Chain A
C-alpha cells in the first residue's frame, strides 16, 4: 500500500519541519510559549490638540522607537483628515510621525495610541548604542573654555580609578547643586535637566563611553497627564546603566532620544500635548517578542510583524481556524459525531467569536427554530428551491434585525454583537435540517443539529483560547503540523468511537446454525 507510506512520509516531513522551526524559535531564541503575564503592559496615548486657521499645518511627534530589544505593537492613529507619514530619523534611530494638512480650520485633534512593555533598570540597552563609540569633540567657544575643560577633566581623571568611577565623578560634578564655573559655561541652553544631560553625554562620548539622552515617561501609576522626563543611558565596564537626574523610577519607558521636543508643530496655535498612561495586565501581550536576533531567517519569514495592524488582526483570527478544523476532523473521524454540513460547525464557531458562547448558542437556536418554522410554512406554498432559500435568508436577516432592535431597547448588548453572524450558513443549515427532518425524522434532525452545535462550541472554545491564538499567531509554522496531522487522520482506518456501539451486535460470538 504505497499510498499509506507516501502519506505517512509526507505528514512526518510536515510535522518535523513545523516542529523544528517551532523548537528553533522557542529554544534558540527564548521565544515565550505563553502570553507573558509577568511584565506589565501599558497603554500609552498621546493626544495633540491645536487650533488651525487655514494655513498649511505640519505636526511632528516622536513615536516609541522599535529597537532590537523591544517591539511596539498595536499602534493606532487617529489622524482625521490629516495625511500621516512615519519616518525614522537617521542619527538617533527615532521614529517620528508627521501629520500634514493644507487648509485646516478650527480646533483639531490628533491621537496616537499604543501598547508597550515597561522597562526597568535591568532591561538591557540595545546594541546599537555601542555603535556610537566615535569620540566627539566638544564645541568650545574659545580657547580659554577648552583650557578650563581640559583642566577640569584631567582633575577628574586623576581622582578616578577607572572608567566607571570617572563616569560617576563626571555625572556628580555636572549634576551637583553648586556648579563650577567652567562646567556651567559648557552647558548648552536647553530646558530643565536636558542641558546638563546633553553635556554629560558629550563628555562621556568624548571619553569613549557610549551614551545617549533618552526621553520618556516614568511608569508609576495610571495617569491622565504624564510628564515626559529625560535621563542618560550609557554603557560602561560592560554594563548597561542609566542615570536619572530627577526622581528614582523603578519602571519607565523611553520614547525618543536626543534633545528635541516630543511634539513640534508649524502653522498652529494653542498647541497642547497630553500623554496618558494606563497599566494593563493583558494576557495576550504578543509584543514580548525578544527580537534580539531579528536577522534570523526563521524569525523574519514566519512573522506577521511587517503587516499593517488591521491585517494582523485578521490573521489573528484566520490562523486559529485550522485549529478548529483539526478538532472537527478529529470529532468526525475518531468520535463519529454527526454534523450538518462538513465545515458548517467551524463557521458557526467563528461566528461565536462575535457573540461569545452562551449568547451565540441562544441566537443560533432561536434563529434556526424561527427559520425552520418559516421553512415548513413555505413548504405548503410549493416554491422552487432557490427562491425558497432566498425567502428563508431574507427572513433570517429580518429576525436578526428584530432581535437586535428588541435587545437594544431592553438594554441588552446581545443584539449588537450579531453583525457577522453568518446568515447564509444559517439558511443552508435550515434547509439541510428540514430535509433531514422530513426524510428521516425530527429526532434525527435535532440530533444532527445538536451535534453541530457541540462541535461549534468546542471549535469556538479552542479557537478563542488566548494561548491558542498566541501560539498560532506567533508560530504560524504550526500550520504545517496541523496539515501533517490532518494527512495522518486522512489514512486512519480504525473504528470511530460511535461505531463501537453501533456494531456491537456484529461483535458478538457467532452461533452459526
Chain B
C-alpha cells in the first residue's frame, strides 16, 4: 500500500491523529480546571463513590512519609492489594499484590517481593517519580480486583479491563484490553497489551490488535479473540456515561474492570485517552464524534445518550462506508 493510498484510507475512515485529538477534543472539551478531577485518582474515586458509581474499595491513602507507618497494616490483606500513584499516568508505577506469602508478598506475575522493596516503591511514588512534572505525590492502596473468569482464555496474568470513550456524555467506541506476557500483567496497549474492538451495541468482541498490528488470537494463549460477550455490558455503558456527569469532561476514557463478586468497577478515568482504539475497531474516531459534536447533549439523560451513541455506531459500522467524512 503506497503512502498516498494510506493517507486516503485514513481520511476515508476518519482516523484522527494526536494533533487533532489534542486541539479538537482535549483542548476544546476538557477545561483545564476539570482535569484535576481525573488526574488525581483519589479525587476521582471520591467523586465516583458520591455518585454511586462502583469502584475498587480504597484501603488507605498515603501522603508524606508519616503515613508510611500504616503501610504494613494496609498491605496485609488476604485477597491482595493494588498500589497506585495518585497522579500517575499510563499505568506507570502501579503494583498489584496477589496476597501475603511467606517472607513477603506475591506479585501478579507469581514472584515474591519483600516488604522493604514495597516500601521503597511507595517512597518513590511519594517523591514524585511517576507523577507529571515530578511533583510530590500520594500513594493509593486499593483492594485488589478479583476479576471474573470470563476473559481467562484470552488473558495472561493481570487485569483485563474495558475502555469506553465518552464524548460529551455519549459513549462512542469501546475496546477490551488484555494483558500479555509482554505487558507484564498490565492492560496498557503501549506496553504490549492486546486491544480488542467491542461492538458498542452488544458488547461482543470483534478483532484484536497488539503493537499497532492486527491479530486475531491472543499471543500467549492462542485463543480466538472475537465473539466473546462482555458481561454487564449495559451497566458498563451506564457507568461510563455517568462519569461524564460527575466530572464534566467532554472527552474521557473510562476504564472498567469486572470483579467476580461485585461486578463492574470503575478503575480510573482518563482525560487524554489514547488513539489506539481506532486500530482495535478498524475505524477512525471522527465519524463517531462528528454527530455528537454537532448535537446538544446537555438535555439528554444517560439512557438517551447511550442510545444515541449506539445509533451512531450502528450507522457507521453497518452501512457501506461513507466516503471521506
A159 to chain B, nearest CB (A): 83
Interface of B is mostly: helix
Residues of B within 8 A of A333 (CB): 19
Q: Is A503 an interface residue (CB 8 A)?
A: yes
B245 to chain A, nearest CB (A): 26
Q: Which of A382, A492, A502 contacts B19 (CB 8 A)?
A: A492
Q: Is the CB of B19 within 8 A of A435?
A: no
Residues of B within 8 A of A496 (CB): 17-19
Q: Is A386 an interface residue (CB 8 A)?
A: yes
Report the Cα distance A513→B201, complex, angstroms.
Answer: 14
Report the Cα distance A440→B124, complex, angstroms.
Answer: 17
A385 (CB) vs chain B CBs: closest residue: B127
A residues engaging B (CB < 8 A)? 3, 333, 336, 382, 384-386, 435, 439-440, 490-496, 499-510, 512-513
Q: Which of A336, A506, A509, A513 contacts B279 (CB 8 A)?
A: A506
A493 touching B127 in the complex, CB below 8 Å, given contacts A505-B209, A506-B278, A507-B13: no
Instruction: List 15 A-B residue pairs with CB atoms under 8 Å apart, sorted by A's residue number.
Output: A3-B27, A385-B129, A439-B93, A493-B23, A494-B20, A495-B7, A496-B17, A496-B19, A499-B18, A500-B6, A500-B7, A505-B213, A506-B282, A507-B9, A510-B282
A383 (CB) vs chain B CBs: closest residue: B120
Residues of A within 8 A of B278 (CB): 503, 506
Report the Cα distance A384→B64, complex, angstroms.
Answer: 13
Residues of B within 8 A of A440 (CB): 190-191
B14 (CB) vs chain A CBs: closest residue: A506
| Top-10 shortest CB links A-B | A507-B9, A385-B127, A493-B20, A382-B120, A495-B17, A506-B278, A507-B10, A499-B17, A506-B15, A506-B279
A315 to chain B, nearest CB (A): 30
Q: Which of B10, B18, B20, B191 contacts A500 (CB 8 A)?
A: B10
Report the Cα distance A508→B15, complex, angstroms.
Answer: 11
Q: Is the CB of B282 within 8 A of A384?
A: no
B65 (CB) vs chain A CBs: closest residue: A384
A382 touching B9 in the complex, CB below 8 Å, given contacts A494-B17, A503-B15, A506-B15: no
Q: Is B223 an interface residue (CB 8 A)?
A: no
Q: Which of B10, B116, B281 contacts A495 (CB 8 A)?
A: B10
Q: Restricting to B102-145, which residues have a CB under 8 Å from any CB of A?
A: 116-117, 120, 123-124, 127-130, 134
Q: Which of A491, A492, A502, A510 contacts B13 (CB 8 A)?
A: A510
Report the Cα distance A507→B278, complex, angstroms.
Answer: 9
Residues of A within 8 A of B28 (CB): 3
Residues of B within 8 A of A508 (CB): 9, 13, 282
Q: Is the CB of A382 within 8 A of B116?
A: yes
A491 touching B23 in the complex, CB below 8 Å, given contacts A506-B283, A508-B9: yes
Contact with A along B254-283 (1 / 0, CB 8 A): 000000000000000000000100110111
Q: Is the CB of A504 within 8 A of B129?
A: no
Residues of B within 8 A of A384 (CB): 123-124, 127
Q: Is the CB of B284 within 8 A of A506?
A: yes
Q: Which of A386, A491, A503 contacts B10 (CB 8 A)?
A: A503
Residues of B within 8 A of A490 (CB): 23
Most chain A CB within 10 A, of B23, B117, B206, B284, is at: B23
Q: Is B46 an interface residue (CB 8 A)?
A: no
A492 (CB) vs chain B CBs: closest residue: B19
A432 (CB) vs chain B CBs: closest residue: B134
Q: Is the CB of A503 within 8 A of B279?
A: yes
Residues of A within 8 A of B214 (CB): 505
Residues of B within 8 A of A513 (CB): 206
Q: Which of B6, B23, B190 contacts A504 (CB 8 A)?
A: B6
A509 touching B20 in the complex, CB below 8 Å, given contacts A500-B3, A500-B10: no
Residues of B within 8 A of A494 (CB): 17, 19-20
Residues of A within 8 A of B128 (CB): 385
Most chain B CB within 10 A, of A384, A501, A507, is at: A507
Residues of A within 8 A of B10 (CB): 495, 500, 503, 506-507
B116 (CB) vs chain A CBs: closest residue: A382
Residues of A within 8 A of B127 (CB): 384-386
